[in-house]
Each structure stands twice: as structure tokens, then as C-alpha cells.
Structure 1
């Protein structure tokens, strides 16, 4: 791909587009009374507008358009990815206005994930990695929705993971799109951290998950190389805090026979924020874990594939043990060992 002239200026512009879109969404949410109200299954204390993530979506659509314009070879892939993004963001926007059934959302997510699988197939030319790309998009879209529960955590985590994808990518196009996502998240953060004046909403959280899956797919298949398990292990390390907290919390709720599909405040980050009485230390702690995962991935990238898999397994095992210890600690502090709050 030809270098994008004044790439830094374009990234600043994308951050400004994201911020402007967030400000417009803020005014719109107040006008339409799109507010998340405090409650037993929420972690905030005051009614807060939602739907601010639409600014990130608009900025990334602009970035995809620029990428397709500068490199016509990317036009089809960007059109597919943009369509998937519009589907995920669109169903999230509708859900922000009136609750939809989980199955209707999942059906749309599946269609969007199928489009990303086509992008992976076109880039790598292999069916199995394309199926993995489909699963990755389905997982990340929903994980970013699950984990968007305290001020700034989902957007800051996405910013760090996007930068990690840019650093791990060899392909110029993949690097540009990952940096564009990071810039859009940076534009949103002033309205979301340290105290949220507006939330991402389903339109933003789902879109972030989809965009991160796209960034990982492009980074893994840059310059036509085949996706390998070790490549995926590297790319997923920075996102491990979200992956572990979401997967282990869901698994523990299923084991206890709880209604795992209902809203709750049982994630480790939610319990930690409630225990501290503040959101931002937890948000930055999760970001620090993501940065550590990024550093580990960068120093491990030149190792043999088997060595990378060992390092990744040890990283996730350590994170899982830390999660189990922390949940047990929170249970003891609350006087309800082993029981998470609903």
C-alpha cells in the first residue's frame, strides 16, 4: 500500500471526528432520554447517557474509506468490513433505543462475522483461519459488550490492544487501520474517563469488539502470509485481561446454575471497582495488564512457534490463577465466599 501522506494529521483528524461524534451523541442522548440509570446490576451511581460509541464508528468508516481510496486492492475487503461494522453498530444502536432479543443481536453479529471471515479468506486463502476469524469476531463483539461496565475500561482497553496490533503487524494497511482505531478511541476517552459523561452503549462496545477482530485478522494475514497459532497467540496476549475475566466469570456463573445471560456485576473488574469505591484505578490496572501483554508479545515474536505457545499458555495460566485468587479475596471481603454478586 502506498504510504498515506501526513498520516499523523489524518490520525488527529480521526480522533477529532470521534470526539465530535461523541459530543453530538451526548446531546442526542439527552434529547431522547437515552440514559442508563443506576441499579443493583449496574456499577455507576448517576444516570448517564449512552450511545457515545457512534463517534468511533463514524471515524473508522472514514478510515476505511481513506484506506480503500489509497489502495484499490483493499477496496473489496474494506467494503466487506465496513458493511459488517455497520451491521454490528446498527443493531447496537437499535438496542440502545429499545431492548432487542439476544437471538436477534446474535443473528446480526453472525452475518457481520461471516463478512470478516470472507476478508480473512481473501487475505490468507485458507478456510480454517477464516473460520477462526468468524469465531473471533463473535467472541470479541460480545466480550467487549460484557466488559463495558465501568468508566473508560472498554475504550482504554481497545486503545491499548489496537496499538499492540499496529506494533505486531507487518503490513502497512493493517498497521494504519489499527492506529486509526486507537486514534478514534483516544477521541472518545475524554468523555468517558476518569468520569464517564457518556457511555459507549451497545453501538460502541459491539463495534469495538468487531473492529479489534478486524485489526487482528489484518495483522495476522498481512502481505498474504498464512495465519498460524503462534501469530494468534501473540495478537491475543494484550486482550487477555478481557478474555480471561469474561470467560471465567461466564463459566463460574454456568457452574453455579445462575442465569448467565442476564446482566450482573460479578466480573472481577466490577467487584474490584465496588470494593475501591472508584472506577479509574481498575480501568488503568486492566490497561497496565494489556500493556504488559503487548510487551510480552513483542519480545516473544521472534521465538519459535512452540516457544510462543508455551509463553502464551503460561501468561493465561498466571492470569487465570490471579483471577481465581482475586474473586476468592472479594468473596471473603464481602462475607460471601465463592458467591458473586448478581
Structure 2
């Protein structure tokens, strides 16, 4: 047996003292501690996901911070997103996360730049399976197989496909959308859905990635936009997202913008005067029906609003820059808000409640 030295006894006493102090005054673990470095495993930076993947209300800041950390971590190497903390997922936030991962894969030229851990929530796991997150991260084989039936994965539309007039992804979205809406009592719903989605995408193609809004032109490989559709029960959601210049930036160069924004400032509460980006979004919507309109362009957001106005419980959400716009058919209510941090690109989301035709007839 090896003879113990005096130094061994000293180390033992120090270790025992530290253990006793820690037991008496435990230090809480906090991965968000200022200045704390992220942990690493298997050559990857571990990034904990927020409890709620959402940018509605109080969830906006944690989710926005998470996306910034994800991009920063990916710029220095591969990343492992810890999905264990996630308890809930919103459709639009999932779309933005998907787009962010796909953009990082393209920017870093590494399809394996982002990996994830398994989700602790079965429902969250089903959402990830259904909408293609694990297919995107090449983890589909090692993840639970269950997903929501009769659903469509997130669709990516590229600039290259648009130039080739390849509308395969768009047709899938429109077919799914029209099938859901035409089964409801929403008159002309299928046509309105087609107009709203195609006009929104047309606006992306014309404006979102215009080189004049960027100090360095956006590479063609990064000029993408993403669509997600979800029909569960009587609830239906559509969201279109791009990572372009954003509505406030693109509308600022329009000769008619100043007059419409001025009229909006006169109508809305004084407290939104500090929200120029939100007013810019509303101006873009109002332009389609205003006396300032001189051509047949810029109908996209007007069509988007027309779509939800035909639904008694519909809403339209738009995020861009520092602006958040929301319209609800109930009460014909519009609200403009200022975000705490800039939203990259533009997200347009329609929320509808669809009632089946036979059920609507029974209520009459």
C-alpha cells in the first residue's frame, strides 16, 4: 500500500471543508448568468432553448435572445441546442427557428452545424417531427416517429426556384390551405387564401431582398422565404416569413409613405407615436386601398387583411423591424406596438377559426 504523505492529508482536509461549505450554502445553477460561458460537449457548444418557443408577449425577449445566441455560437463552431427545457411551441416561432437554422447551414456551408437533444415534452416532440425540424438537422432517424396526421412540413421557397418558375412548394401549401378552407363555411375562402399567399410571396420577391437596402448584396443562396400551415380541429394558421430588409426599411423609400404615416399618427393613440415601424406596417396595408395608390403593386398586405376579414374570428399578425401590427375581426380592432429588439425580416401570420359547412348550417 502506498504511504500517504502530508500533502495528501492537506488536500483531503481542503476537499472536506469545501464539501461542507457547499452543503451548507448551495449555489443555484443559472445558465443565463452574465458573463458565463456556454458549456461544450462532443465538440459542440451547448445552447439551452427557452421554455417557450414563441415571440408573443413576454416570450419575445427570451426567444429573440436565444436566436442571437444561436447565430453567435454557430459563427465559432458547431452547436447543440438543448431542447429539454421547451414546454410549448408556437407555429410562427417554429417557422423562424427553422429559417434561422437553414440560413446558418447555408452561411457556414455545413449541414450539420446545428444538432438538437430530444424534447422532454411529447407534444413538443410531435411538433418538431411534423414540421420537419429533425429532417432539417439530419436527426430524423434517431427521434420519435409520432407526428400530427394530415399535416404539411415547413416549405422553403428559394430565389433560384422562383426564377425557374418552379412552384412545387407553393402548390403544396395552396392545395393544403384550400382543402381546409373549402370544407368550411368561409365563402370564397380558397380564392382569398390563394390571393393572400401569392401576393405576400410576390412582395418578398420584389422588395425583401432588393440589393439597394443592403450594404452588401444578399447572396442568391440566401434569398429564401418560408411558409408553414397548420390545421388542427377548427383552428387554422398560415405564416409566411422572409429574412429580408423588412417592411419599415422598404416602405421608407416610397413617395406615398410619409402622407399615409402622418394620417395614421393622427388617428392612433399618442402612445404609439414612438412606434414608427408599426405605423410603417399599417401604412403598407392601407396603401392597397388608399387614394395614394397609383399602380397595381403593393397589394400583398391588403390581400392579407381581406383574407381574415371574411372570418368572424380571424386575426392578422405582422412582425418586422421594431414594429408589431395586429388586426382582429372581432370588433374590427387594430393595434400597433413597439418591439423591445428588432425582428429580422418580416413575418405575416393569419389565424382563422374554420367551422365545417354542415355544422354552420345546423346553427342557423
TM range (shorter): 0.3 to 0.5
TM-score, normalising length: structure 2? 0.31
Tell me which structure has the larger Cα radius of gyration.
2
Identify the structure with bigger relative contact order (alpha carbons < 8 Å, sequence gap 6+).
1
Structure with the bigger percentage of helix: 1
TM-score, normalising length: structure 1? 0.32
